[in-house]
Amino acid sequence: MLVSLITCLNGAGIYVCLIGYPFVMSLDIVLIYMAVINVVTFFLYGIDKWKAKRAKWRIQESALLWLAAAGGSIGALLGMKVWHHKTQHKKFKYGVPAILVFQLSVAVIWLYIFAQ
């Protein structure tokens, strides 16, 4: 399913077109999504650290990075700091903060353009 966020944007909400049918995502839904994805990401970093200490099956690095890219970059950074996990891997050490900067830049631009 292809989601186009660029299709329709409006100051009242984000219109997302799924297969040609637009629906409105209110700011409340976006904020709830961001809270949930960040909490999930934070705890998955902790679970992966716990599994690493016990030599158990691990969460794939790509999954952890995708969670950050899907909006959980703050949870990923907090998880890295709190659990002391993935702090020496360059793709996490530099990649997660880069994802956060990108996401914050998009949010600022979106607010500047559509909050007028």
Confidence label for 116 from pLDDT (cuts 50, 70 and 90)? low
Q: Pseudo-torsion of CA 76, 62, 29, 20, nearest 10°?
A: 160
Q: Which of 13-27, 64-78, 81-95 has the lowest mean pLDDT?
A: 13-27
Given this model, what pLDDT does residue 30 score? 83
Given this model, what pLDDT does residue 25 score? 61
Residue 15, pLDDT above cutoff 70: no
